[in-house]
Copies of this chain bind each other. A is one copy, B any other.
Amino acid sequence: MSGRNRLIYLPLGGAGEIGMNAYVYGYGAEGRERLILVDLGIAFPDMDTTPGVDVILPDISWLKDNLDRLEAVFITHGHEDHVGGVGHLFQQLKKPIHARKFTANLARRKLSEKGQDPKMVRTAPAFPETVTAGPFSVSFLPISHSIPESAALVIDSPAGRVIHSGDFKLDPSPIVGEAFDPDLWAEAAKPGVRALICDSTNVFSRHPGRSEAQVAPNLRPLVAASKGLFVATTFASNVARLQSLAKAGEAAGRSVCLMGRAMRRMTEAATEEGLLTDFPPTVSPEEAADIPRENLMLIVTGSQGERRAASAQLSRGKYFGMEMREGDTFLFSSKTIPGNEKEVARIMNNFSEMGVDVVTDDDGLYHVSGHANRPDLERIHEITNPQVVIPMHGEHRHLREHAKLAEATGRTGIVAPNGTMLDLAGNKPEVVGHVETGRTYLDGSALVGQFDGVIRDRLRIALNGLVVVAVMVDDDGDVLEDTWVDIRGIPEEVRGSASLSDMMEEHLAGALARISRKVADDDEALEDLIVKGVRKIAQDEVGKRPEVTVLITRLAAE
């Protein structure tokens, strides 16, 4: 039917959530498009939906089914929701990975950790230089963000130019890394931009975004005025912030110590790539232990309240020999990502009990966002002047609001959630298909599908508890009397101090003595009878409908 070639856009993750970004572009005849993947990130689990899960990855089944068509992977920047999946999923893709030098450094570490070849990561030059991948010519267009060397991708194919924004803000003075350069962007837009695929995170923030440079002047007096130990936490990848914090410490005559694995990894990578030319000297945790607390500043991980990170550990007691006490100051140079409020509050309350003064960004002094706000989005639409704006990097409500914003200035705005396949080659973009997408869970060392039932089982037991019943049936079809009941996560003591499991055992002893040979011989019927009986007792006695596991053992004649 279609003689002409298509230019495909297909988000597998990131369009419908903030996290696990993975966007496919393709060019060619229908079904034979050559493909590139932009970003391969992770999302973070929570107790409500994914208890026990370590990391959430996009479901890349569709890519695996079309692996012979995949040319390469491009990573826009080094945040975990963009590069975090590279280590876990590389083995399934085995394609070259292109990124700018800092991002490439981080990606290589991830491959090495998983025993993969770090040489599969290639350091890419910046715009206007290009990387060729099949029919595509891709150029990394520098843009400011809350991590060094973020890049938009200028993606050229015979069907024209699209720009994939990556994560960005319009920062004229980002402290570390390149400032937003409107002239460079105008140049990239000059040949005409068919579509801008654009970060939507802050579309609901009405005021223009603020520069990273606004934070440092507020940090200095705060650190200078503090008396005891000064501890600050922020996102480890925000290397510019680390530098502003360290300089504020240095200016106040404090030695600076970085604590937490991510802090070390990020500053190591930034140093290796020559980005930290102006960072004050630091001391090791061992050296820090010997420095009087009023002369010391710690910069630590765990701004989101992560249980095992340095902030949480310090709030519970010692960490690398350091301990907080009355008169010390703890600064959250960060915002709390929605969903982490309780964990962060727990840390604040622990510090409050110790008499530590906690300073937050409540008054907007000690943190700025890394994403473009609504007026900044309008500006980037204007500069790139695309025919079509396709919002990405947002929940559905962000995508919809961003599309409306584009429409308000006469552009076409398209909401294309994960799995929507768009063809951008024609005059009007067209939905040409839907692909099954979802989430893959890294659980321990196993990859588990979202609908495999493993996590559903855990959630059900967490909500309702579990009853385990073991019955034995002899070869005459009689159920032996010693039926065994064990309960987990259900109150054992019921009204009048009776034991719930005893009650269940008694009930089953009675009920199973009366069953027919037919039921006794039929595992399913027997299980059904037991489950119903046990659930009824639980419902009557403790008002719960537990999960039930039945083990039926059939004894052979000896």
Q: Which residues of A contact B (CB under 8 A)?
A: 16, 46-48, 51-52, 204, 206, 338-339, 341-343, 345, 348-349, 351-353, 358, 362-363, 395-397, 399-400, 443-446, 448, 452, 454-455, 457-459, 461-466, 468, 470, 472, 482, 484, 486, 488-494, 538, 541-544, 547, 549, 551, 553
CA A454 – CA B490 in complex, angstroms? 6
State whether A342 touches B339 (Cβ < 8 A): yes
User: A47-B51, A446-B542 are known contacts. Are A397 and B358 too (CB-CB below 8 A)?
Assistant: yes
Return A415 CB to nearest CB of chain B, in Å. Answer: 9
- Chain B residues lying within 8 Å of A464, measured Cβ to Cβ, are 52
Can you list 22 A-B pairs, Cβ within 8 angstroms, ordered by A?
A: A46-B47, A46-B342, A48-B342, A51-B463, A52-B489, A52-B544, A341-B341, A345-B397, A349-B395, A352-B396, A352-B399, A444-B538, A444-B543, A446-B493, A446-B541, A457-B488, A458-B488, A462-B462, A466-B488, A468-B549, A486-B549, A551-B551
Known: A349-B395, A458-B465, A470-B484. 8 other contacts (CB 8 A): A46-B342, A206-B363, A351-B397, A444-B544, A446-B542, A454-B492, A459-B462, A486-B551
Q: Which A-B residue pairs are the 3 nearest by beta carbons?
A: A444-B543, A445-B543, A458-B489
Min Cβ gap A323→B in Å is 18
> Would you give the shortest CB distance from A18 to chain B, in whole angstroms?
10
Query: With A342-B338, A358-B397, A446-B542 known to touch, is A52 a contact of B549 (CB < 8 Å)?
Result: no
Which of B341, B462, B491, B551 is A443 in contact with, Cβ under 8 Å?
B491
C-alpha spacing A464/B51, complex, angstroms: 8
User: Which chain B residue lies CB-closest to A491?
Assistant: B446
> Could you say which residues of chain B place their CB within 8 Å of the CB of A458?
461-463, 465, 488-489
A461 CB contacts on chain B under 8 angstroms: 458, 461-462, 466, 488-489
Known: A488-B466, A544-B444. A553 touches B454 (CB 8 A): no
Chain B residues within an 8 Å CB radius of A459: 462
Establish whether residues B341 and A446, one from each chain, have CB atoms under 8 Å apart when the complex forms: no
Q: Tell me the bound Cα distance from A400 to B345 in angstroms.
A: 14
Given A341-B338, A349-B396, A489-B458, residue A494 in contact with residue B446 (CB < 8 A): yes
A553 to chain B, nearest CB (A): 6
Contacts of A338 in B (CB 8 A): 341-342, 345
* Cβ contact within 8 Å between A468 and B551: yes
Docked Cα-Cα span, A461 to B542, in Å, equals 20
Chain B: minimal CB distance from A341 (Å): 4
A361 CB → nearest B CB, Å = 12
Are A397 and B352 in contact, with the CB atoms below 8 A? yes
A538–B454 CA distance with the chains assembled, in angstroms: 14
Chain B residue at minimum C-beta to C-beta distance from A490: B454
Name, among A446, A538, A541, the residue most crowded by chain B CB atoms within 10 Å (CB to CB).
A446
User: With A395-B349, A454-B490, A484-B553 in contact, do A465 and B52 touch (Cβ < 8 Å)?
Assistant: yes
With beta carbons under 8 angstroms apart, the residue of B395, B486, B542 that contacts A444 is: B542
List B contacts of A445 (CB < 8 A). Answer: 541-543
Cβ contacts under 8 Å, A549 to chain B? 468, 486, 488
A484 engages B446 (CB within 8 Å): no
Contact A443 B542 (CB under 8 A): yes
Residues of chain B contacted by A358 (CB below 8 angstroms): 397
The reply to whether A397 and B348 contact each other, CB–CB distance below 8 Å, is: yes
Q: Which residue of B lies closest to A358 (CB)?
A: B397
Q: How far is the CB of A223 from chain B (nearest CB, A)?
A: 21
> Are the CB atoms of A457 and B397 closer together than 8 Å?
no
Could you tell me if A452 and B491 are in contact, using CB atoms closer than 8 angstroms? yes
In the complex, A466→B487 CA distance in Å?
A: 12
Q: How far apart sit A343 and B338, CA to CA, in the bound complex (Å)?
A: 10
Q: Report how far A470 CA is from B348 CA in the complex, Å.
A: 46
Smallest CB separation, A389 vs chain B (Å):
17
Do B47 and A489 touch across chains, with their CB atoms under 8 A apart?
Answer: no
Smallest Cβ distance from A124 to chain B, in angstroms?
Answer: 34
Which residue of chain B is the closest to A397 with respect to CB atoms? B352
Least CB distance from A38 to B in Å reads: 23
Cα distance, A147 to B470, chains bound together (Å): 53
The smallest beta-carbon distance between A458 and chain B, in angstroms, is 4
Q: What's the nearest-Cβ distance from chain B to residue A390, in Å?
A: 16
Is there contact, CB below 8 Å, between B341 and A47? no
Q: A397-B349, A452-B491 are in contact. Are A551 and B470 (CB under 8 A)?
A: yes
**Nearest-CB residue, chain B, relative to A489:** B458
User: Cα distance A52–B553 when bound, in Å?
Assistant: 31
Min Cβ gap A483→B in Å is 9
Among B16, B452, B491, point to the contact of A454 (Cβ < 8 A).
Answer: B491
> A349-B396, A458-B461, A462-B52 are known contacts. Are A547 and B444 too (CB-CB below 8 A)?
no
CB distance from A262 to the nearest CB of B (A): 21
Question: Which residue on B lies nearest to A401, using beta carbons?
Answer: B352
Bound together, the chains give a CA A528 to CA B149 distance in angstroms of 53
Q: How far is the CA of A457 from the CA of B462 in the complex (A)?
A: 8
From A452, A461, A541, A544, name the one whose CB has the most chain B CB atoms within 10 angstroms: A461
Question: How far is it, in angstroms, between the C-alpha of A345 and the C-alpha of B16 when the chains are bound?
Answer: 12
